[in-house]
Amino acid sequence: MSRQDILCTLSSVFEEVLGRPVELTETTTAGDVDGWDSLAQVMLVVASEDEFDVRFESSELADAQNVGDFITLVERKLSRAAAGSAAPG
């Protein structure tokens, strides 16, 4: 999944959680989006975990300063999941 694919999927997640379309870029932060408060943050993380079928540690999330950082985190999680499923069982 490309960074652009992840960004498009996140846009859909944001729209679902916030109830309206949100124009996301890699530099978007919580301060740039009306309604992206601490409660929305939790809901966005849970919805993203469900959408991408991954789980995030709170320490990983604390390092994400913008949407681009979150995309990088999703990429890492997806790549680890793919590597784990490719391992002989």
According to the model, what pLDDT value does residue 89 have? 46
Query: Which pTM value belongs to this model?
Result: 0.88
Residue 84 has pLDDT above 50, yes or no: yes
Mutual orientation of helices 3-18 and 38-52 as an angle, nearest 10°?
A: 130
According to the model, what pLDDT value does residue 82 have? 83
Mean of per-residue pLDDT scores for the chain = 93
Residue 27: which pLDDT band, with cuts at 50, 70 and 90? very high
According to the model, what pLDDT value does residue 31 have? 95
Q: What SS3 class is residue 56?
A: coil
Label residues 28-43 b or e (16+ Cβ within 10 Å = b).
beeeebeebeeebeeb
Cα–Cα distance measured from residue 84 to residue 88, given in angstroms and rounded to the nearest whole number: 9
Token couple for 12:
């859909």
Q: Domain residues of the chain, as ranges? A: 3-86
Cα–Cα distance measured from residue 77 to residue 75, given in angstroms and rounded to the nearest whole number: 5
Classified by CATH at the fold level, domain 3-86 comes out as 1.10.1200
Per residue in 33-71, pLDDT (tens digit) is: 999 999 999 999 999 999 999 999 999 999 999 999 999
